[in-house]
Amino acid sequence: MSGTLQKIECFPGSKIYISCPAGVATGGPEALHQLGHHLILLGFNAFMYYYHSPESTGLVHENYKKYDVPYVNEPENSREHVLIIPETHLSSVFCKKFSKVRKVVWWLSVANYYIILNQQIARHERKKRKSLGLSVLFGTFKIATFDSLKKKNVLHIGHSYYSMVHLRENGIEPVGQISDYMNDAFFERTDEKAEKQDIIIYNPKKNDVFLDDIIAQTRHLNWKPLSGMSPAEVAGWMNRAKLYIDFGYHPGKERMPREACIMRCCMIIGKSGSAAYAEDMPIPEKYRFEKNTNEILGILNRINECLVNYDKLIKDFEPYRKVLYHEKEKFDHDISAVFSQIP
């Protein structure tokens, strides 16, 4: 399952446009800006193309000005150019003003694709009930199903190994895989000398009643939810905590688990989405559990083990930590494996 079937060819006059929501600071937009920045460093003509979404607060978010990627108001509709599209904005595939430009979907999140797809289907079903125009809905492929994307000859890039598997399961062979990398500012907040304490950190927004049940059975332990904090505050707790626990769904390579590993936390993880794959999260399997009540006793034992024997067990996460420290280098390598410069 390795290798690429084809490269995305770029000629001297080719421009690579990266479609991105305007004024939004989350993991996806940062990855899109990282892609633009590194394409430019590698000699490609890359530009951001911002579209407005309900979350938009401006055009270029302050957090991403440092990537110094120029932007255009409208891409040129020419076959020599390329339009990179996140899986959350696939309406561009069917837009007439982009009819000629080569389109490539970068699958940053599998889950977000289905959220948007279900919203599209619900919206069109409402229209169908009003007009009974079923052929209008599906005949023009306005809904971004895998079949409609195939008919438009769209190319695809995976972000996580999980997304690569999912695309292949749906009959699509990606041209390659490009992941993102941790923001340099985060590494600057890593305190190797911080004294580790018996603190367990978790993200309450990503977890549910399953972790609540575990917390309820361990009230004597020091649980710290990472919520409503600045990045510096999150880093402070990660530097001090011995253990990070996450039984949430991982639609792609999630940032918080990577941050916790960099901050020398042991990890106990579920098996939902990309978390199930060692290719995305290379930690020993003994720290990965099904979200099942039958597993709770084993999870409780592992929690105790991580707190009591932290100095020994933290070594189990060193290989993953090394991978995270070299993500930026791999980013350039993966871009070069997918995009080709034609003299």
Decide if 249 contacts 111 (C-beta within 8 A). Answer: yes
pLDDT at 10 over 50: yes
Token readout for 341 is 């410069």
Polymer length in residues for the chain: 343
The span from the CA of 215 to the CA of 223, in Å, is 8
Q: Supply the pLDDT for residue 5.
A: 52
pLDDT digits (tens, 9 = 90+) for 252-291: 899 999 999 999 999 999 999 999 999 999 999 999 999 9
Q: What is the phi/psi pair of residue 273, to 5°?
A: 70, -140
Q: List the end-to-end C-alpha distance of the chain, in Å, as a whole number.
A: 30
Strand ordering across the sheet containing 222-225: 222-225, 197-202, 241-246, 266-269
Task: For residue 194, give the DSSP letter.
Answer: P
> What are 165-205's pLDDT values in tens digits?
999 999 999 999 999 999 888 888 999 889 999 999 999 98
Picking from 1-10, 112-121, 152-161, which range would have the lowest pLDDT averaged per residue? 1-10
Grouping H, G, I as helix, E, B as strand and the rest as coil, residue 273 is strand
Q: What is the mean pLDDT of residues 30-50?
A: 97
How do residues 107-136 score in pLDDT, each as one tens digit? 999 988 998 888 878 776 766 666 554 444
Residue-level pLDDT at 139? 42
- Label residue 9 by pLDDT band (50, 70, 90): very high
pTM over 0.75: yes
Q: What per-residue string of b and e applies to 274-291 under the rule 16 or more CB within 10 Å gives b?
A: bbbbeebbebeeebbbeb
Closest residue by Cα to residue 91 from 37, 135, 148: 148
| C-beta of residue 57 within 8 angstroms of C-beta of residue 50 | no
Average pLDDT, integer, range 46-65? 87
Q: What is the pLDDT of residue 4?
A: 41
Task: Tell me: pLDDT of 142 over 80.
Answer: no
Mean pLDDT of the region 32-53: 95
Of 104, 101, 90, 105, the closest CA to residue 142 belongs to 90
For the cut 70, the answer to whether the pLDDT of residue 342 exceeds it is: yes
Continuous segment of H or E residues that includes residue 57: none
Distance (Å, rounded) from C-alpha 280 to C-alpha 273?
10
- What pLDDT was estimated at residue 135? 42
